[in-house]
Chain A
Amino acid sequence: MNRRRFLKRGIVVGMSLGTGAAHAQSAAPDDPSKVLGGPKRPYGQRSRFETSARKAFRGKTDEHGGSMTPLGDLHGIITPSELHFEVQRGGVPDIDPQKHRLLIHGLVDRPVILSIDEIKRLPSVSRIYFLECSGNTQSEWRAPGLPTVQGTHGLTSCTEWTGVSLALLLREAGVRARASWIIAEGADATGNERSIPIAKAMDDVLIAYGQNGEALRPENGYPLRLFVPGWEGNVNVKWLRRLTVVDRPYMTRMETVEHAGLMPDGKARRLMFVMDAKSVITFPSGGQRLRGPGLYEITGLAWTGRGRIRRVDVSTDRGHAWRRATLQEPVLPLAHVRFSLPWRWDGREAVLQSRCVDETGYEQPTLRDLVKVRGVNSTFHLNAIQSWKVAADGAVSNAHGAA
């Protein structure tokens, strides 16, 4: 949905209902230069005409579920913290940072307990990284599932994360020779815990306390979370309170019963860490509408857990011909990359697709190729090419699986 439609809808709703939302209270002046403006605010807030929001989904209870990023409304590559997707299994814990502690123990010479203030005194790093839940797009295995890109792909986001290198902390604690894994645990009601190979822990993992320049949002792990670049969302343990250095994976519920991919033969792949390369067109995408033939800019996002996106191609004819899209700078490793391609729509039905290739040569597959190998019951890690159908009247809908 574009900005103009939001604006229009907001005003119509405001006028017809006359209650509730701020934009219902008064019309904006015709010429804002002829009246005095509003007051300053201690903490910024968006225009009352902007209504884009996360879309919640419910799991088994009100505390079990999450909310999805409105990718179709966003610009550039950074997801505002307020719109970053979230997934919880036992609600968002209420944590006093003065009371919160991080314990590092197990196969280390110097087990340690650190406060948040102490962690903030250590050398900090800031990195822009995508974060994707491996359950993203799981509605699309069998048939087009959800109508908008928020529903199909809204469990990926990209923000700047600030924190301390886990390798620094582990070196300080003195990891012993036979250490080969770490267990990370969160302080929420379902105590998310995951096993992570020590090689990754000593590479680029962060203990993060900052998100887009301010403290983490509670639903994203306040006051401390693990950040494991390029790996499935669930290992990025939120509300982090314990790291145990061990010599084997512990086979926790979250890495056996969930996040394992069930194959057609009944065997399940487990410890599926890396996020495969994936891209999606965010405009035009499901639920949006083109207002007549003419020039449009097709745009979308691409990302990969294996480093950098090298190329994105776009097709407007159901995957027969592909054209190379422009990658907007900056093209950062392990981050969303914004791509775009000008397109002159002739007013006839069209199917739009994007396909990316990463620096390892991995090419985003079709759904057919994915299903051929994995069947339709593996739930996680669906990274197939997404198709959007533009109808002759300009309405855009989910046509996933068209290629």
Chain B
Amino acid sequence: MVASRTSMSSRLALAAALVALVAAAWPAAAQLPTYGLGRAPTAEEIKAWDLTIPPDGQGLPPGRGTAALGKPVYVQRCAICHGETGTDPKYFVLVGGRGTLNTDKPLKTIGSYWPYATTLWSYVRRTQPFDEPGSLTPDEVYAVTAYLLHLNGIVKEDDVLDATTLPRIQMPNRDGFVPDARPDVGRRPKTPPR
């Protein structure tokens, strides 16, 4: 019985290996079934490019950081453009502007305008620093994000940002966005927009 179980499980293992082999061999020819073009991406290829993070934080990598840890990173890698305090208008102003959105001179910053902290994380991870895009480690991105949120009075200096805490941050302008109301001017269309 023992022997037969072993032989059955080894036969199963062989069958599973065969299925895996076939599965690995097939997709190369069958990704676009009608045209027989394209190959299946590897998990590594997808991971290298798929860095967009939605508001619920899906896809955030391991790592952590605090504003205290982010300050030296910011000073070294970001301040040359954005200024020591994130208020240099030479580039995009990052700090301040709360309460200005409904005035004649709205100032759109991370603190006053950005609706999701995940958007900030994702953008910094992929595109910053401007002249070395994508060169910060996940830990550095968590830390710099924490520092920018701290400068805007949204997190405390030692609050830890990671894949769990980042999506929970309530940005001040979280509810500041509304659906597109057009056509709001001009005659209303008789047929829906295509």
Residues of A within 8 A of B (CB): 60-61, 63, 90, 103, 105, 110-114, 118, 121-122, 169, 172-173, 183, 185, 189-191, 193, 203-204, 230, 241-242, 244, 246, 248-253, 256-257, 260-274, 276-277, 305-307, 357, 359-365, 369-370, 372-374, 377, 381
Contact = CB atoms under 8 A, between A and B. Distances in A.
Contacts of A63: 130
A370 B185 contact: yes
Nearest to A364: B186
Given A267-B178, A377-B106, A257 B185 contact: no
A103 B187 contact: no
Contacts of B35: 121-122, 172
A256 to B, nearest CB: 5
B16 to A, nearest CB: 21
A360 B50 contact: no
B180 A103 contact: no
B54 A248 contact: yes
A136 to B, nearest CB: 16
A203 to B, nearest CB: 7
B179 A257 contact: no
B97 to A, nearest CB: 11
B189 A250 contact: no
Contacts of A268: 101, 113, 176-178
Contacts of A262: 101, 106, 108
B189 A306 contact: yes
B32 A172 contact: yes
A61 to B, nearest CB: 7
Interface of B: 27, 30-35, 37-41, 45-46, 49-55, 90-92, 101-102, 104, 106, 108, 113-116, 118-120, 122-123, 126-127, 130, 133, 176-191, 193-194
A112 B55 contact: no
A132 B45 CA distance: 33
A90 B133 contact: yes
A191 B127 contact: yes
Nearest to B113: A257
Given A257-B114, A277-B186, A362-B183, 13 more contacts: A60-B90, A90-B127, A105-B46, A112-B32, A114-B37, A122-B35, A191-B127, A253-B119, A257-B108, A268-B101, A273-B180, A306-B189, A377-B106
A305 B185 CA distance: 15
Which of the listed residues A191, A244, A370, A374 has the most CB atoms from chain B within 10 Å of its own CB? A191
Contacts of A370: 185
Contacts of B177: 256, 260, 267-270
Given A103-B46, A110-B40, A253-B123, A267 B183 contact: no
Given A112-B31, A257-B119, A306-B194, A363 B176 contact: no
Contacts of B33: 110, 172
Nearest to B51: A191
Sorted from nearest, which 9 A-B pairs have the closest CB atoms? A266-B102, A360-B189, A266-B101, A112-B31, A112-B38, A172-B32, A250-B54, A365-B185, A253-B123
A363 B45 contact: no
A340 to B, nearest CB: 23
A189 B51 CA distance: 14
Given A60-B92, A172-B34, A193-B52, A271 B180 contact: yes
B37 A122 contact: yes
Contacts of B49: 103, 185, 241-242
B39 A112 contact: yes
Contacts of A118: 37-38
Nearest to A267: B178
Given A103-B45, A268-B177, A90 B102 contact: no
A314 to B, nearest CB: 18
Nearest to B181: A269
A254 B180 CA distance: 15
A173 B32 contact: yes
17 contacts: A113-B38, A113-B40, A118-B38, A169-B32, A172-B33, A253-B119, A253-B122, A263-B178, A266-B101, A268-B177, A268-B178, A272-B180, A357-B187, A360-B191, A365-B186, A369-B186, A372-B185
Contacts of B185: 365, 369-370, 372-374
Contacts of A252: 52, 119, 122-123
A361 B188 contact: yes
Contacts of A110: 27, 30-33, 40
B88 to A, nearest CB: 11
B124 to A, nearest CB: 10
Nearest to A89: B127
A29 B41 CA distance: 62
Contacts of B193: 274, 305-306, 360
Contacts of B186: 276-277, 362-365, 369
Contact of B38 (A114, A191, A377): A114
Contact of A111 (B34, B46, B91): B46
B106 A362 contact: no
A99 to B, nearest CB: 13
A251 B38 contact: no
Given A110-B31, A203-B194, A274-B182, A264 B102 contact: yes
B194 A307 contact: yes
A242 B50 CA distance: 8
A111 B42 CA distance: 10
